[in-house]
Each structure stands twice: as structure tokens, then as C-alpha cells.
Amino acid sequence: MTGLRDLVQKDLGFIMETDKAGARWPITVTDPSGAASTGLYGLSGDISQVIDPDTGQIISGRLATVSIRISALSALGLGIPQGIEDNTKKPWIVTFNDINGNSFTFKVAQSSPDRGIGFVNCTLEQYTP
């Protein structure tokens, strides 16, 4: 008997990784050892936002995120991405194109895995490779 979570996981795979749902986007994830994913799909976002740095003057900012199924990462031999604060180590790197084909590289600043249904949402920050 298939449980509700199994069903959600299956739907996630359909929505995030198949071209039938139309939402998938090619994403490259590189772990701190330098191992990079190939053929990985997920959801990506890169939008402007408004930030208040508490100086009384609102400033423009940019927020980028990716969402990937944990099982898709595992299948490629990768773990769950996470923010690496120790600057003696290499960070997790995420690369994807915008809708116009321009490639952007980011560092994983924060990851929020949902192990219940099996996906990880990563908040990104600009990175110069």
C-alpha cells in the first residue's frame, strides 16, 4: 500500500524533474570536494527584493534559491547541500542559468531540508568561482 508521503515524493519527482510539468530547471550542484552533478533538475528562483538594513533607508536586494529532491542528489552520490561558514573549506556551489541563458554561480548560504517529503530548499548568495 502506498502511503501519503510516498505519493507526495512521487508527485515531487514529477513536478520538479520531468518536462511534463514544465517547472523543472537544469541545476549543477558541486560539493566541497569538487564533485559536480550532471543531469540534475529542480526548481530555481532569482528575484529582486527589498531589504531594510535598519538605517531607515530601504535598499534593493536580490534573492536566489533552489529546491532539489534529496533522492535526486543521493542518486548522483551527493549529500544534502549546506552552508559552510568555515572559510578554510570550500563551500557547496550551485550554478544555473536565468531565463535568458546567462549563467550565475552561487554559494549555498543556508539549506532547509524537509526530510519528511524528501526535498531541500537552499538559499544562495553570490559567489566568484
Partner 1 sequence: MIETLIDKQDNFEIIRDQVAAILALEVANQQTLATAALKDPNLWKLRIYIERANPWEAFLHPTIDESPLVNVWYENTDFDLSSSNVGERQRARGILNIDIYGYGKSANNPAGGHKAGDELAALNCQRGLRLVRNILMAAEYTYLGLRGVVTGRMPQSIRFFQPEQDNRAVQNIVASRLALAVSFNEYSPQVVLNTLEFISIDVIRAEDGEILIEADYDFTP
- Binding residues for partner 1, rule: CB under 8 A, are 46, 48-49, 51-55, 57-64, 84-91, 106-107, 109-110, 123-129
Least distance between partner 1 and beta carbon 21 (Å)? 26
Least distance between partner 1 and beta carbon 25 (Å)? 17
Closer to partner 1 by CB, 26 or 111: give it.
111
Least distance between partner 1 and beta carbon 108 (Å)? 10
Closer to partner 1 by CB, 19 or 85: give it.
85
Q: Report the run of H or E that residue 70 belongs to, with start and end.
A: helix 70-75
Least distance between partner 1 and beta carbon 57 (Å)? 6
| Closest by Cα among 53, 42, 54, 39 to 124 | 42
Closer to partner 1 by CB, 17 or 92: give it.
92
Q: Report the run of H or E that residue 10 belongs to, with start and end.
A: helix 4-17
Closer to partner 1 by CB, 39 or 61: give it.
61
Contacts of 41 by beta carbon, 8 Å cutoff, 6+ apart:
16, 17, 24, 25, 26, 27, 72
Distance (Å, rounded) from C-alpha 16 to C-alpha 31? 21
Coil, helix or strand at residue 12: helix
